[in-house]
Structure 1
Amino acid sequence: MGGANSGVNITDLKDVSSYYRQRSFAVSEEITRINNLINKENLIIADINRRKSDILLKNNMYFKKIVIEYEAETNINANFDISYIAGKCGWAPAYDLKAKEIGEPVVMKYKAKVFNNTGIPWQAVDMVLSTGDPLQGASAPTISTWNLNYNAPAGSSGKGYYDNAIKNEYRQYEEAQYQVLDENISYNTVTVSVISVEFPIEKKYNIPDNGKPYTIDVTEYSLDAEFSYYAIPKFESNVYLIGKITGWEDLSLIDGNMNVYFGDKYLGVSQLNTNSLNDTLELSFGRDKQVSIKRNRIEEFTKKGLFGSSRKETFMFDILVKNNRKTDIQITIVDQVPISNESEIEVTVDEISGANYNEITGKTMWVTTLKPSESKKYSIGYTIKYPKERTVSTKQYRSMQSAMF
């Protein structure tokens, strides 16, 4: 292509460019061909698994025989009620959390996603959902040392089904037989109380034996909640409604997803973490357009200049918040002053309008109550001084996806 004493030859450059395009196209075609082969093989594997499942079902290979030996002194007609433990069934918690209006209790609908992969469909069955261990033995329990450590956040991934399946030592023989029907079910370890809890289900349900989850109603709770507002106008001109819910820790709940609603509006999915160290569950109920907030730069107090060997930049902002609701509200407004990580960069706080100020993080916070139609204004200002020959990013920017044409 060229060396230290010679330039790039145009013809060579064109040849290299052409070769690169051809190779790129060839590699892309090969990747597509391999992906198509993988997809075809996956379809073949899925078809084999379906046929295997059909064969096992036809030959009754998913079922066991129960043999009962009994002794009677005389000839009698007897009926037996048989209880047994079946694997390949279980349930996962799910919740709907609905707040109708500020100041009213929050309704939590406790639901369960129940799956049945036993090979026997359940028709109008009576159900009791339990967090207990179905294989508890008859031996008395023992107690071991309870060590306390600092809590690490509990990890969670996949679908958190509470499995009623038989433990590994009891199911080695069954594992291969059940594998086909169970391959689409993911399991996750969830934390439950050491004391098992049972939830009798009042309604009778039909649960097919296809391994798919079916949602059933468990119970419903009315929870006390305190509502307040939260805003960071530096990032966006929106105010968020925050609900602080108490009393949930006494309800024997299990980690799971919650569908969150406010009024008739669906807001999204939140995660219930029963390992939380707080007795208050804090959730965002989305943006409330009836409370407005704006952050404007005050041009007359925003300036730049050189002072000897230093450069100074001064910034001043006004924050205006207004309550357009018909009731009093409490709102927390958060902003910040930059923190210097260099000895030559000096930051001076000029104005924070009585905010709570953290000198370590630079975080400023105003907590106030607004009456209906009331407005309040706060100011935040600071000066940044640094050597004039250096460059300091005195503004923050955010990233976003942009289409390329």
Structure 2
Amino acid sequence: MRTSILLPLVKVTVLEDRALIERSGEVTLPQGATRLLVDGLPAVAVDRSLQAKLTGGMVTQASLRRSMRAVLPEALREQHTELARRGFEHEQALEQAQAEVRRLEVKRNLMQAARAEVLRAIAERTGAGEADPARWKEQLDTLRKEQTATDDALRQARRHEARLQRQHQQETRDILSRTERPEPTLDVRAELDVSHAAGGPATLTLTYLVPCAAWRPAYRAALRSTPEAATVTLECEAVVWQNTGEAWKDVTLAFSTARPTLGATPPRLQDDWLSLRDKTVREKQVVDVSIREEALQTTGEAGTTKAADALPGMDDGGEPVTLTATHKATVPSDGEAHRVALFAFTSPASSELVACPEQSPLVHRVARFDNTGPAVLLAGPVDLVREKGYVGRAQLKFSGRGERVKLGFGSEDSLRVSRQVDAGEEVARITGRRTRTQRVKLFVSNMGAKPADLAVEERMPVSEVEAVEVALLKDATKPAPTKVSEEGIVRFQLNLPPRSRQTVAFGFTVSSAAKVSGL
């Protein structure tokens, strides 16, 4: 026995480049084995991903079947619009021609009635002895000319109407022949062999994967500052694209960073031989070093740095994350971006003005706050908003729950920093020790009418070998830095009065032995 049913779509789990569709509904089954046909599946459904579950029964076999069916499709949007416009123009012209024919027929009837009235007046006036042949002749000539002209115009109008009627019928046949031509359509259905011991109602659940679907996280951060405190409200949304051929209407949406198709096979183990050798004469005499730029590989405030040529994707910190929408949503199959709200939270924040003169002469408003939301923050774009409105867009790095987050909320136009660098090098004649000195001068200006507290950050190298020493020049560094981190970040805390200018001096030395090369 075959039974054809339609299962409603209840849940969609969107992955990084595909989606897991779940359909579920109640079916009434007879006792014993039967075959169910589930219609209305998309053409892009992956055959090997089909799974079926039946409460109170058993599914012994599940597969997808595809068949071609000829249908009468609607015209394409552009073609339909053009044909409708042409049909409307023909109908308007035909209606005008028909109205002109009716007008001329009415005029001809009026002319005939007027001629009959003149002839009746001639008979009555002649019998009464009031004949006026000249005036009657003039009236009859005028009516004859008008009636002849009306008859000619009526014949032309009828010919024009008949021509438009034939043209309209031909155009209608042409439109039907072009828009009602059958074309093949692919129907996809799931064939399930199920068995139910007692028969009756049961819940059938069908899941399958589809391509042509993707999602990425997006955020909106609003900074609100008061004299007492500052807060950051962070809203998380999922931007969804799908062109699977089926509309997701009023479904529960879940968004996952799992990659189920990535290879999980461990690599084959091979022997790794270690050998010892004596150092060469050059290796005993020379220490090779180099200066390199290195990004800190941490999460949270420092962020995570990827290679420039990495494929675009989602950064979830290495652990799959699943986020669920707060309400049911509808996503049509149009390939356009649709936003779905996930969660939002408000966290106390610390706000300060920070300048990094080596990177930019601008001073930025930076806020730091804890991730007090219900889930981790995936890497994604964030729209920045302050009291006066939208200030720009930044990139939010991956942050775990409770982790510190750092965001910049635009620049302060009233503050500027100018930077000058002076570098020199000395070599000791006896020992050959090389000392390179770098002095930096920062000119900080406050052109506004209000005082400002500003943090200025500079950096100095960090040595990883004993043959190279890096030291801060305390005498050449004024004012004294408030903090020097292990990564070489030197921080100055300044208080700038209105319309004032301050100078910050900063210097360091890099000293290396004579056997060091590469600097």
- Normalising by structure 1, we get a TM-score of 0.50
For residue 325 of structure 2, what is the amino acid of its counterpart?
Answer: F
| Structure 1 counterpart SS, 2:361 | coil
Counterpart pick for 1:99 among 219, 222, 238: 222
Q: Provide the C-alpha distance between the structure 1 equivalents of 2:447 and 2:358, rounded to a whole number of angstroms.
A: 19
What residue in structure 1 maps to residue 398 of structure 2?
Answer: 273
Change (3 A) 1:228 1:324: same
Q: Provide the C-alpha distance between the structure 2 equivalents of 1:71 and 1:303, rounded to a whole number of angstroms.
A: 91
**In the alignment, is the contact (CA less than 8 A) between 1:88 and 1:116 conserved in 2?**
no
| Residue-pair matches, total | 281
**In the alignment, is the contact (CA less than 8 A) between 2:355 and 2:456 conserved in 1?**
yes
What residue in structure 1 maps to residue 385 of structure 2?
Answer: 262
2:286 pairs with 1:160: no
Counterpart pick for 2:210 among 73, 88, 93: 88
What residue in structure 2 maps to residue 65 of structure 1?
Answer: 191
Deviation at 1:222, TM superposition (A): 2.7
Q: Provide the C-alpha distance between the structure 2 equivalents of 1:91 and 1:371, rounded to a whole number of angstroms.
A: 52
Change (3 A) 1:267 1:88: same
* Residues 329-359 of structure 1 deviation map (CA, whole Å, 9 limit, x = unaligned): 5432123567899889999654212124759
| Structure 2 counterpart SS, 1:284 | strand
For residue 96 of structure 1, what is the amino acid of its counterpart?
Answer: Y
**In the alignment, is the contact (CA less than 8 A) between 2:376 and 2:400 conserved in 1?**
no
Answer 1 or 2: which has greater strand percent.
Answer: 2
* Residues 352-402 of structure 1 deviation map (CA, whole Å, 9 limit, x = unaligned): 12124759876532124556667644333578999xxxxxx9xxxxxxxxx
Equivalences for residues 3-402 of structure 1 within 5 A? 60=186, 62-66=188-192, 69-70=195-196, 82-88=204-210, 92-103=215-226, 104-116=230-242, 118-122=244-248, 124-129=249-254, 131=256, 157-160=311-314, 191-192=319-320, 198-202=324-328, 204-208=329-333, 213-246=337-370, 248-253=371-376, 255-263=378-386, 264-274=389-399, 279-295=403-419, 317-322=441-446, 324=448, 326=450, 330-336=453-459, 350-352=475-477, 353-356=479-482, 358=484, 363-370=489-496, 376-380=502-506
* Residues 199-240 of structure 1 deviation map (CA, whole Å, 9 limit, x = unaligned): 3325x42421x6665332334333332211221334532112
Deviation at 1:151, TM superposition (A): 8.2
Q: Provide the C-alpha distance between the structure 2 equivalents of 1:206 and 1:305, rounded to a whole number of angstroms.
A: 68
Q: Provide the C-alpha distance between the structure 1 equivalents of 2:489 and 2:231, rounded to a whole number of angstroms.
A: 32
**In the alignment, is the contact (CA less than 8 A) between 2:461 and 2:470 conserved in 1?**
no
Structure 1: runs of 5+ lacking an equivalent: 1-48, 136-149, 162-187, 387-392, 394-405
Q: Provide the C-alpha distance between the structure 2 equivalents of 1:383 and 1:233, rounded to a whole number of angstroms.
A: 20
* Residues 275-312 of structure 1 deviation map (CA, whole Å, 9 limit, x = unaligned): 59x711112223221333334689xxx99999999999
Deviation at 1:110, TM superposition (A): 1.7
* Residues 4-45 of structure 1 deviation map (CA, whole Å, 9 limit, x = unaligned): xxxxxxxxxxxxxxxxxxxxxxxxxxxxxxxxxxxxxxxxxx
**In the alignment, is the contact (CA less than 8 A) between 2:384 and 2:409 conserved in 1?**
yes
Relative contact order (C-alpha < 8 Å, sep 6+): which is higher?
2
Deviation at 1:257, TM superposition (A): 0.9
**In the alignment, is the contact (CA less than 8 A) between 2:255 and 2:323 conserved in 1?**
yes
* Residues 129-173 of structure 1 deviation map (CA, whole Å, 9 limit, x = unaligned): 25599x9xxxxxxxxxxxxxx989696742339xxxxxxxxxxxx
Q: Provide the C-alpha distance between the structure 2 equivalents of 1:117 and 1:374, rounded to a whole number of angstroms.
A: 59
For residue 159 of structure 1, what is the amino acid of its counterpart?
Answer: G
Deviation at 1:244, TM superposition (A): 0.9
For residue 65 of structure 1, what is the amino acid of its counterpart?
Answer: E
Percent identity between the aligned chains? 10
Q: Provide the C-alpha distance between the structure 2 equivalents of 1:238 and 1:217, rounded to a whole number of angstroms.
A: 34
Deviation at 1:82, TM superposition (A): 3.8
* Residues 83-122 of structure 1 deviation map (CA, whole Å, 9 limit, x = unaligned): 3213127653422223355454323222113344554323
Q: Provide the C-alpha distance between the structure 1 equivalents of 2:509 and 2:305, rounded to a whole number of angstroms.
A: 42
| Structure 1 counterpart SS, 2:399 | coil
For residue 385 of structure 2, what is the amino acid of its counterpart?
Answer: F
| Structure 2 counterpart SS, 1:85 | strand
Change (3 A) 1:215 1:62: farther
RMSD: 5.3
For residue 283 of structure 1, what is the amino acid of its counterpart?
Answer: L
| Structure 1 counterpart SS, 2:325 | strand
Change (3 A) 1:154 1:368: closer
- Normalising by structure 2, we get a TM-score of 0.41
